[in-house]
């Protein structure tokens, strides 16, 4: 096979989801499947989590639409606010739930819905320290005082930016609860959620009504946390495309030379999402040792180790390498 092959264990993802549901102490589990489920395949992951996750979250409207077209019927929350009329229309047509992070988001969604006779389901996003999306205090109060025709506000959310630091997380959570009180005074009871994977691991107190678990589903945790017996869901394999003896020169580009005579070439490179280092080319990698031509070699089983070797985090490793790979699903 010319493409790299990613073996995805849906049973591991399901077991991890159940683990986080237990840690969340009864809060609803929202499975985050943005970026094609961190390279694991959003539709397959969503179907595997039926009966475990009560809802799903994506980054973009188009990701939510793709889930609906794949037959996912549960609630789907779009984490990034819509940025144009078309995204509002598509989101409404497919029954997605929008995030509102400022007054202009509300104005855009409200105007489009008014023009076409639609009603949009929404969750308010409030800024408690992440400074990415979300109403701040005065802006939130101003929004709550205005008419909100065509907007059906059902939830309120925020996001921890340092869940591994107890004092920071606690301060954020207190501010979030203050914002929740103001919003519920205007809208009545809302679904409240602030904890992602790190927030769940930090304390069950932060689970509120719902938790949004992303990286934890796939067997990894944010920096600063120990894994609660999670199973890693992805292993990636490349085919041996050539077996040869060293004949002088380098190993691919550059001046690197092998220690011995035996070389083989894997059909994988940085175009497949691997990081450019060592003997890696765009579509091939020269390696030392013995291998059987057309056989497979595991090139990724631990995204944390790959991340540490390349100065990044497991999130990036998984999302990069899962994009070009052919996925084979197992359920163990």
CA distance linking residue 29 with residue 199, whole number of Å: 13
CA distance linking residue 161 with residue 172, whole number of Å: 9
Residue 58 β-bridge partners: 78
Residues that are catalytic: 34, 253
- Chain centre to alpha carbon of residue 224: 18
**CA separation (Å) from 301 to 6, 219, 232, 239?**
10, 11, 8, 15
Nearest to 209 by CA among 52, 77, 28: 28
* 282 annotated to bind ligand: yes
Show Cβ contacts of residue 181 under 8 Å, excluding neighbours closer than 6 positions. none
Residue with tokens 């540490």: 308
* 132 annotated to bind ligand: yes
CA distance linking residue 75 with residue 64, whole number of Å: 10
Question: Is the dihedral angle over the CA atoms 46, 50, 52, 55 positive or is it negative?
Answer: positive
CA distance linking residue 286 with residue 320, whole number of Å: 21
The answer to whether the CB of 98 falls within 8 A of the CB of 82 is: yes
The answer to whether the CB of 36 falls within 8 A of the CB of 42 is: yes
Nearest to 74 by CA among 33, 15, 126: 33
Task: Supply 14's token pair.
Answer: 């399901």
Task: Supply 228's token pair.
Answer: 């609660």
Show Cβ contacts of residue 312 under 8 Å, excluding neighbours closer than 6 positions. 275
Q: Annotated binding residues, as ranges?
A: 132, 282
Q: Annotated binding residues for substrate, as ranges?
A: 132, 282
């Amino acid at each position: 096979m010319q493409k790299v092959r990613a073996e995805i264990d849906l049973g591991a993802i399901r077991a991890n989801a159940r683990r986080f549901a237990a840690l969340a102490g009864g809060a609803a589990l929202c499975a985050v499947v943005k970026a094609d489920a961190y390279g694991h395949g959003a539709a397959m992951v969503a179907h595997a989590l039926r009966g475990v996750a009560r809802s799903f979250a994506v980054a973009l409207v188009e990701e939510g639409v793709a889930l609906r077209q794949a037959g996912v019927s549960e609630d789907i929350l779009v984490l990034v606010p819509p940025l144009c009329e078309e995204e509002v229309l598509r989101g409404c047509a497919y029954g997605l739930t929008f995030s509102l992070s400022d007054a202009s988001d509300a104005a855009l969604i409200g105007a489009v819905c008014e023009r076409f006779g639609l009603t949009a389901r929404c969750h308010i996003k409030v800024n408690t320290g992440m400074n990415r999306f979300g109403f701040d205090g005065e802006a939130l109060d101003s929004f709550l005082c205005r008419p909100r025709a065509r907007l059906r506000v059902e939830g309120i959310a925020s996001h921890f930016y340092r869940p591994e630091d107890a004092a920071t997380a606690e301060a954020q959570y207190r501010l979030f609860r203050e914002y929740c009180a103001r919003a519920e005074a205007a809208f009545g009871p809302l679904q409240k959620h602030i904890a992602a994977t790190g927030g769940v691991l930090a304390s069950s107190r932060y689970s509120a009504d719902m938790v949004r678990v992303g990286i934890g589903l796939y067997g990894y945790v944010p920096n600063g946390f120990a894994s609660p017996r999670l199973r890693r869901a992805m292993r990636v394999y490349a085919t041996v495309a050539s077996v040869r003896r060293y004949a002088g020169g380098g190993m691919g580009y550059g001046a690197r030379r092998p220690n011995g005579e035996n070389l083989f070439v894997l059909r994988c490179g940085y175009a497949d999402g691997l990081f450019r280092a060592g003997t890696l080319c765009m579509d091939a990698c020269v390696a030392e040792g013995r291998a059987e031509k057309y056989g497979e070699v595991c090139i990724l089983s631990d995204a944390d180790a790959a991340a540490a070797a390349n100065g990044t985090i497991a999130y990036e490793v998984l999302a990069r390498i899962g994009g070009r790979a052919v996925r084979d699903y197992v359920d163990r």
